[in-house]
Structure 1
Amino acid sequence: MKQKARFTMGPAALVAAAFIGPGTVVTASLAGANFGYALLWALVFSVVATMILQEMAARLGVVTQQGLGENIRAGISRPWLRRLVVLLIFAAVIIGNSVYQGGNISGARLGLADLLPIDGQYIPVVLGALAAVVLWQGSYKVIEKVLIGLVLLMSVAFLATFLLTQPDWGALFSGLLIPSVPSGGILMVVALIGTTVVPYNLFLHSSSCAQKWQSANDLGAARKDIYISVPLGGLISMAIVGTAASAFFGKAITIQGAADLGQALQPLFGDSATTFMALGLFAAGLSSSLTAPLASAYALSGVLGYSNNLKDKKFRATWFTILLVGVVIASLGLKPIEVIIFAQVANGLLLPFMALFLVWVCNQPRLAQHRNSLLQNILGGLVCAVAIGLGARSIASAMGWL
């Protein structure tokens, strides 16, 4: 008799914590401020696409008891092709996350600075130390609990801020259900999808699922985790879009980033809105500060063949290096444009490749009856097509062609 899957919020919450970072807050804020509720449908699509890919990643991790990195290493036999893939992963995931980690810590710094009377100069070091303490524990359960807590904090903070702004519910549901692209909105649509469908989450999720669950009998629990946690992350993004749309669209107030959004809410909706926004921004920055180094360590350990044990020296060295680079960037206010451009190009190449590889590997005989169905392959193919479009846009944008 088949045992009923028991739901426990877990690895998919790490995925939600990873894609709701300061970059998402900024992108969603600008989408709402500039286009109102019109682009909310893009987030609906993003959530569905993310669930399709993350279900494959989770299934791969649970059934094979290996992460995506290990499956890449096992599945590519040609040495030159394997070296190329390792180079791409190193460029996009390792170098890219090192640079973006500065943005994660900076975002958490902005939120904390609005909440506590602390000298902003020292906040990045404090945040980096806090993230290091959590990761150094070497306990998946501890990391999972911390990140679930941060996701729940973000949910309360951003949803409360959204409700305080008294949204136009008719326009909101229209934006959710009726796809439209206002003039000048196509790049913002791509940006909203790109902040949710993140390649390093495939490494993070598959490896996390392999650690949490030990057999294919747990696939039901893994799927329930995805169907709850990923939409919750999408709901947070939608709340941020709605907040900016309610507060700023069509009004003589402009914002350029998340910090401006929090400060501009105060005279309009009072201290409560500003406080909730600051809490959300702090949680978003800290959660991404934990997941980006962790995902990088999982990816590199998998493709290079060293242990992904959280207490392994090489594993710790990987995430610590990325965390340290982020602290330095946030502390010094550096803007390494050239490195960011390089990371964008590499990430644009990696995302469609990872999506295609994931579909391919989920059709391999080693998954037996858990291989992709025809419907899963069709849906995966559609997401891959979007990923290729995103990759092309990312590269074109980085090269200044857009």
Structure 2
Amino acid sequence: MDGATSTDESTDGERRAVRLRVPPLLGAAVLMAMSAAGPGFITQTASFTVLYGASFACAVVVSMLIDIAVQMNVWRILGISGQRAQDLASKVFPGAGQVLTVFVVLGAIVFNIGNIAGAGLGLHDLLGIDSRIGAAISGCLAIAIFLGKAVFTAVDRVMVVLGLVKICLIIVLVVVTAPPVGQAVVGVVAPHGLPFLPILTLIGGTVGGFITYSGAHRLIDSGITGADNVSRINRGALTGILVACVLRIVLFLGFFGVVATGVHLANANDAAGSSFLAAFGPVGLHLFGLVFWAAGMTSTIGNSYTTATFLRSYAAPIRRHMNRTVIVLVALATVVFVAAGQTPQSMLVFAGAINGLVLPIGLAIILWVALRRRDLIAHHTYPKVLLGAGVAAWLFTAYAAVVSLTSIGSIFH
């Protein structure tokens, strides 16, 4: 009788655990989407919305189209091959995997300092504590997630919860500000005075660098690979893209709602925080702090995890101790920011330029596999429409890379 009761309780516990578990596909999708929506993305969206108003909607839509073309190709090729980007690249061109890894890791390490800084600034606005103390607390919380045994389960849950916090608070901002959607729609098809730079910046900050591979690498770690799983792979990619697009749209609309009222922002250098302050009053700064902290945390976790998946190909200890590698990466970013007190702007510009190179290089390899190395994807029949969209995205990002390179020299003057 006691044995039966024990078994029943154990079964109930397992069922509860199953209900609380985030499905691997959703986990991969949310990791990709939330990694793209870091502090830099929020700051860029707010600043450009203030500068260009409804016309910035065009940049948002273009970045979404590029995101769809890139992610659908990356998820499909990496998912079917079952190989991470650097390993697949090495099989296509000798040394290409190492080159791709160097670019990804360099950009990711620098941007992770910015991510942890964003989390620290978020806690400063939320709780009024020093941003360096906030960064140290945030870094310790991120490290704690990777100390347990069920790391993937913990990461998936944290990303989903923090993602929901971000999206819900931003939706509240949209509801309160009631943006003129009609003007935004006109801005999409007929932008006025919108230069190319905001489009390039938004694409680099939401699709480039480690972000390109975060969801696909998480998918591979979940074991969802091979041509037999192509429908699940596509579903995961589409879910991630949908979440990312919703976040982009509501974030722009929220800030545009404030801009459209003509209100004078309290701090033009902090357009994002000032927008929340204008919309909600004094409590708005605390709400913004929560959003910014959640953005910093999700991007820090996604960045560190994806960087470790690249490094694992070149060192056996990293493969055996992925958790520790992620912890080291988080700790490194935290210590650098706490010691410096700020993230040097020149480093962020340099990392942005590096990320501008990562996207076309990695995408070129992905598209080459679809065109000429189908043996690496089990001779899968590749959709021509998807391939065409990928080529169009590559042409755009290749041009963006050339423009991005021009910023490297300027930071040393």
**Band the TM-score falls in, shorter-chain normalisation:** 0.7 to 0.9
Q: Does 1:142 find its partner at 2:142?
A: no
Pairwise CA distance, 1:264? 5.0
| Counterpart selection for 2:360 from 352, 374, 385 | 352
Q: Deviations over 1:226-282 (max 9, x none)?
A: 22332222222222222222223555437545x553245325533454443222211
| Structure 1 residue aligned with 2:212 | 202
| Structure 2 residue aligned with 1:388 | 398
Q: Kindly report the root-mean-square deviation, in angstroms, between the aligned alpha carbons of the 2 structures.
A: 2.6
Higher relative contact order (CA 8 A, sep 6+): 1
| Structure 1 spans left out of the alignment, 5+ residues | 1-5
Amino acid at match of 1:66: Q
Partner SS, residue 198 of structure 1: coil
Q: Deviations over 1:40-92 (max 9, x none)?
A: 12222222322222222222333222211221122223xxx44xx524532x3
Q: Distance in 2 between matches of 1:357 and 1:72?
A: 6
Pairwise CA distance, 1:306? 4.4
Amino acid at match of 1:228: T
Amino acid at match of 1:192: L
- CA spacing shift, 1:185–1:173, aligned 2, 3 Å: same
Q: Distance in 2 between matches of 1:372 and 1:319?
A: 35
Question: Please, which moves more after superposition, 189-198 or 155-164?
Answer: 189-198
Pairwise CA distance, 1:391? 0.8
Question: Please, which moves more after superposition, 315-324 or 236-245?
Answer: 315-324
Partner SS, residue 362 of structure 1: helix
Q: Distance in 2 between matches of 1:141 and 1:57?
A: 24
Question: Could you tell me whether the CA contact under 8 Å between 1:69 and 1:301 is conserved in 2?
Answer: no
- CA spacing shift, 1:167–1:254, aligned 2, 3 Å: same
| Structure 2 residue aligned with 1:319 | 326
Q: Looking at secondary structure, tell me which structure has more helix per residue.
A: 2
Amino acid at match of 1:161: L
Amino acid at match of 1:372: Y
| Structure 2 residue aligned with 1:217 | 228
Question: Please, which moves more after superposition, 324-333 or 153-162?
Answer: 324-333
Amino acid at match of 1:203: Y
Q: Deviations over 1:317-364 (max 9, x none)?
A: 543333223212332324445544443343232221111111112342
| Pairs within 5 Å for 1:356-371 | 356-363=364-371, 364=373, 365-371=375-381
| Structure 1 residue aligned with 2:173 | 161
Q: Which has the larger radius of gyration?
A: 2
Question: Could you tell me whether the CA contact under 8 Å between 1:50 and 1:197 is conserved in 2?
Answer: yes
Size of the alignment, in residue pairs? 383
| Structure 2 spans left out of the alignment, 5+ residues | 1-22
| Structure 1 residue aligned with 2:10 | none
| Structure 2 residue aligned with 1:72 | 89
| Structure 1 residue aligned with 2:14 | none
Question: Could you tell me whether the CA contact under 8 Å between 1:158 and 1:277 is conserved in 2?
Answer: no
State percent identity of aligned pairs: 20
TM-score, structure 1 normalization: 0.86
Q: Does 1:51 find its partner at 2:68?
A: yes
Q: Distance in 1 between matches of 2:136 and 2:63?
A: 34
Q: Deviations over 1:372-398 (max 9, x none)?
A: 322222111000011112211211123
- CA spacing shift, 1:128–1:196, aligned 2, 3 Å: same
Q: Does 1:175 find its partner at 2:187?
A: yes
| Structure 2 residue aligned with 1:114 | 125
Amino acid at match of 2:394: C
